[in-house]
Amino acid sequence: MYSTAKNPAGKLAQLPAGSGSSVNFTSTGTLGSGSTGASGCPPLMKAVAFNGGMNPAMFDTIAAADDWLTFSPSIPGGPASTHATNGFVPMMAFARDVNTAIDMVNSANPPEWMLTFNEPDFSYAGLTPTMSGTEAANAIAPLIAAAKGKPTKFVAPVTADPNSAFHEEFYAACGCRDFFSAYNIHQYNPSSANVINTIQAYHGKWNDKPLWVTEVAPGGSGCTTSWDAAGQFMRDIYRFAKDSGFVDRVFWNTGNQIDGGDQNVCNSYLLDTGGSPSPLLDTYRAVDCS
């Protein structure tokens, strides 16, 4: 279920940086069939989301993740290792990022993947912009035109509420469903079973492409979830993703602790505000999707 417990205070830190039936489709993984990614999970499945205040060295500290994102089209926070640079997935989070995205896909080194609009149906404390499906379709049109014939693959916009009518309006207005190579969902709930049910239901509706889970945590629990419970939730989600046949990547949220009391991620960070490991980091490193 969509959690209404999202706390704007935690999300504002991002701004300076931002049982369904399956059908045949090509996995978004880039490694060979049968190979494994971090900690024995399928290729590229094990990923992590960072929030404001991170630096790329945190990704190296976590080590067990294949990919990372941080709500920005470019890597923030200082120099990045080759490992962090190669694992970074840029995001065109808002309409203001469209021109930057166009420059990136036309550059000499275009990204392999790019995430598009982040929760256009929800405004954090009234400070992040919202867009209707039609407004988002108009905003992304220049990128669609510029990206023709380019190698970058795009992930569809993600909503705060997976049950909203945004996507129906968006695809009807842009006629661009085929432009995207994967769908995208966010989920917060203290029950892994509820999260899995929602993901399955979403895939039952949007099932002609693989799915990325770009934010997931046992949120909405009033910060009462224990580290052990968060770890079991994590294991459940990655096991489900591996067995699903349609979830390609799962970005655990969050890699770094957020100041401000965001109840979606108060018991799920891997590194605290000083960059020291939380009790959950060893669990994350050990997760092998089994």
CA distance linking residue 53 with residue 241, whole number of Å: 29
pLDDT in tens, 115-149: 999 999 998 767 789 999 999 999 999 999 999 99
pLDDT in tens, 78-92: 899 999 999 999 999
pLDDT confidence band for 8 (50 / 70 / 90): very low
Percent residues over pLDDT 70 in the chain: 86
pLDDT confidence band for 27 (50 / 70 / 90): very low
C-alpha dihedral sign at 255, 256, 258, 261 = positive
Q: What percent of the chain is helix, strand and coil (3-state, nearest 5)?
A: 35, 15, 50
pLDDT confidence band for 93 (50 / 70 / 90): very high
CA distance linking residue 102 with residue 81, whole number of Å: 25
Q: By three-state DSSP, how is residue 242 classified?
A: helix
pLDDT confidence band for 5 (50 / 70 / 90): very low
C-alpha dihedral sign at 63, 67, 69, 72 = positive
**pLDDT score, position 2:** 33
User: Average pLDDT of 185-209?
Assistant: 97
Alpha helices per DSSP H over 57-125: 57-62, 82-87, 98-105
pLDDT confidence band for 28 (50 / 70 / 90): low
Alpha-carbon distances of 103 from 15, 76, 111, 140, rounded to whole Å: 21, 18, 11, 14
Asked if pLDDT for residue 40 goes beyond 70, the answer is yes
In contact, 260 and 10? CB cutoff 8 Å: yes
Question: How do the domains of the chain map onto residue ranges?
Answer: 35-286
CA distance linking residue 241 with residue 28, whole number of Å: 14
In contact, 146 and 102? CB cutoff 8 Å: yes
pLDDT confidence band for 37 (50 / 70 / 90): low
pLDDT confidence band for 25 (50 / 70 / 90): very low
Torsion of CA 288, 281, 199, 21, to 10 degrees: -10
Torsion of CA 144, 67, 208, 100, to 10 degrees: -10
**pLDDT score, position 30:** 39
Q: Which of 160-164, 221-225, 247-251, 268-272 has the lowest mean pLDDT?
A: 221-225
The packing angle between helices 98-105 and 133-146, to 10°, is 20
User: Average pLDDT of 257-286?
Assistant: 91
Mean pLDDT score of the chain: 88
Pick the CATH number of 35-286 from 3.40.640.10, 3.40.50.10950, 3.20.20.80, 3.40.33.10: 3.20.20.80
**pLDDT score, position 94:** 96
CA distance linking residue 252 with residue 265, whole number of Å: 10
**pLDDT score, position 125:** 67
In contact, 73 and 113? CB cutoff 8 Å: no
What strands lie across the sheet with 67-69, from one edge to the other? 67-69, 46-49, 247-253, 211-217, 183-188
Asked if pLDDT for residue 268 goes beyond 90, the answer is yes
Token couple for 204: 């039952």
